[in-house]
Amino acid sequence: MNKEHFLIELKLHLRQLSLTDQQAILQKYEDLFAEKIAEGLSEYQITKELASLKRLLCQF
């Protein structure tokens, strides 16, 4: 899964939250991707490194 697909899936699952909360969470992951890419990881490696999307969403 690449960054774009990950963020689209995440956004779909965050619909029940307020727009402000959605934007804050999405920005957190945008920043995380930028940081990890700067460290030399690929988008695929980053998404693989993250918890499964389903498990991740249980945190919200």
Structure tokens given for 56: 């991740």
pLDDT at 1: 86
pTM above 0.85, yes or no: no
pLDDT at 20: 98
Q: What would the pLDDT profile of 41-51 be if each residue is shown by its tens digit?
A: 999 999 988 86
Average pLDDT, the chain: 88
User: What is the spatial distance between Cα 16 and Cα 24, in angstroms, rounded to a whole number?
Assistant: 14
CB neighbourhood size of 46 (10 A): 20
Structure tokens given for 29: 């992951």
Average pLDDT on 6-18 reads 91
Residue 52 has pLDDT above 80, yes or no: no
Residue 58 has pLDDT above 80, yes or no: no
User: What is the spatial distance between Cα 34 and Cα 42, in angstroms, rounded to a whole number?
Assistant: 10
Which residues contact residue 41 at a Cβ distance below 8 angstroms, ignoring those fewer than 6 apart? Answer: 49
Give the count of domains, the chain. Answer: 1
Domain holding 10, by residue range, is 3-57
